[in-house]
Amino acid sequence: MSVYQATASAPVNIACIKYWGKRDTKLILPTNSSLSVTLDQDHLRSTTTSRADPSFEKDRLWLNGQEEEIKEGGRLATCIKEVKRLRREVEEKNPNEPKLSTYAVHIASKNNFPTAAGLASSASGFAALVSSLAALYALPASPSQLSLIARQGSGSACRSLFGGYVAWEMGSSPDGSDSLAIEVAPQSHWPDIHALICVVSDDKKGTSSTSGMQRTVETSTLLQHRIKHVVPERMKAIKEAILVRDFDSFARITMQDSNQFHAVALDTDPPIFYMNDVSRSIIALIVEYNRVSIENGGKIKAAYTYDAGPNAVIYAPKENLKEIISLIVKYFPQAEPFKDPFGLFGAQGVGSGAVV
Ligand code: DP6
């Protein structure tokens, strides 16, 4: 008897241009395009194994060993249904293929970092889930095609189908067929950029991205300005910065966009605060670090960015990492380098992490 099983892994991605707001909540179509860097495969990632078997009675999923309900019509069910639909197309074209689309699947996924700590676990989780099902079904689909499905699990997940520098183009089609991830440049194009993750808190976050961003869409006037007049220009400029490996521009845009994302969170009614005092102190440290460098005729040396939580991600060229880590340790004496399973990690190649 054949065993139909496949395992796939997907890393976390951290946005430089933030996705915040949906124009269609069911299909998960965003109000603006976004751009991120996918972290190194070895570090923050989700690993998912899927198995299809005629003896399984229903689709089931375990996350870090705990069974999760697959709610009808929910995001998990939608992703599984969409991948099965692609499998059915393969079976219709090749009648000799086993009818795996008719079997139920059992899916087991684990993260090597705390779930929902503002460390984008849904992004790597849905990307790994869709990748493992695509491998199980031997789908002839490109990462961009798979990103259309992962997007319906969690918007930011579509970007974790690629490594390196990735854009999620918002698209304009009402059915979402052009709202997908594309590779701007592979990791090998600019391997010098590293990500230092500072875990300020690994508590589960207060306001989820999903509900927070909808409140912003409903109540923030600043968001309307952002999506019409700010993001389109920034998307162009940051892609260009990546293509010519211009860290100065990349860093400025990344910090501006993080600031504006937190400004639209504050402009939401009631306001949403994701950063805390430690987050803001890290911003002050990076601002000062860059100011001193520029004053001495140098360039920007590091960029901070914050998602829907207090944890900092610092992007920097490799040569500056040691200095940044020693600054963090100096100003946050309680900071400890990550212990396993976190290890020391970075966006590309070696980097480092700290619990602040
Ligand atoms: C601040 O992708 O988690 O990290 O689509 O509702 O699942 P849903 O939201 P999610 O939002 C991520 C928001 C962000 C910015 C980003 O990653 O672009």
pTM (2 d.p.): 0.93
Q: Which of 51-55, 218-222, 270-274, 350-354 is the least confident region?
A: 350-354
Q: What pLDDT score was predicted for residue 119?
A: 66
Task: Encode burial over 307-334: b for 16+ CB neighbours within 10 A, e otherwise.
Answer: bbbbbbbbbbbbebbeebbebbeeebee
DSSP secondary structure string for all residues of 40-70: PTTSSEEEEEEEEETT--S-EEEETTEEE--
Angle between helix axes 209-219 and 247-266 (nearest 10 degrees) is 80
- Protein residue whose Cα sits closest to atom 1 of ligand 1: 307
Q: If you search the block for the tokens 């991120």, which residue do you land on? A: 36
DSSP-based helix, strand, coil % in the chain, nearest 5: 40, 25, 35
Phi and psi torsions of 44, nearest 5°: -75, 110
Are 111 and 98 in contact by the 8 Å Cβ rule? The answer is: no
Q: What pLDDT score was predicted for residue 332?
A: 84
Burial (CB count within 10 angstroms: exposed 0-12, middle 13-18, buried 19+), residue 339: exposed
Residue 115 pLDDT greater than 70, yes or no: no
- pLDDT band at residue 344, thresholds of 50, 70 and 90? very low
Task: Report the pLDDT averaged over residues 77-100.
Answer: 97
Residue 298 pLDDT greater than 70, yes or no: yes
Pocket test for ligand 1, best of 28, 36, 129, 209 (most atoms within 8 A of CB): 209
Ligand 1 center–CA 157 separation, angstroms: 8
Residue 103 pLDDT greater than 60, yes or no: yes
Pocket test for ligand 1, best of 13, 19, 75 (most atoms within 8 A of CB): 19
- Protein residue whose Cα sits closest to atom 11 of ligand 1: 209
Q: How much of the chain, in percent, has pLDDT values that exceed 70?
A: 91
Residue 256 Cβ inside 6 Å of ligand 1? The answer reads: no
- pLDDT band at residue 334, thresholds of 50, 70 and 90? confident
Lookup: tokens for 302 = 């590091």
Q: How far apart are CA 98 and CA 94, in angstroms?
A: 9
Residue 252 pLDDT greater than 90, yes or no: yes
Q: Does 334 or 231 have the greater pLDDT score?
A: 231
Ligand 1 center–CA 347 separation, angstroms: 19
Q: What pLDDT score was predicted for residue 336?
A: 66
Q: What pLDDT score was predicted for residue 352?
A: 40
- For the CA of 75, the closest atom of ligand 1 is 7
Q: If you search the block for the tokens 């990791």, which residue do you land on? A: 187
Ligand 1 center–CA 333 separation, angstroms: 31
Burial (CB count within 10 angstroms: exposed 0-12, middle 13-18, buried 19+), residue 164: buried
Residue 156 Cβ inside 6 Å of ligand 1? The answer reads: yes
Residue 19 Cβ inside 6 Å of ligand 1? The answer reads: yes
Ligand 1 center–CA 20 separation, angstroms: 7
Q: Which of 98-112, 185-199, 283-297, 340-354 is the least confident region?
A: 340-354
Residue 351 pLDDT greater than 60, yes or no: no
- Protein residue whose Cα sits closest to atom 12 of ligand 1: 156
Residue 307 Cβ inside 6 Å of ligand 1? The answer reads: yes
Residue 28 Cβ inside 6 Å of ligand 1? The answer reads: yes
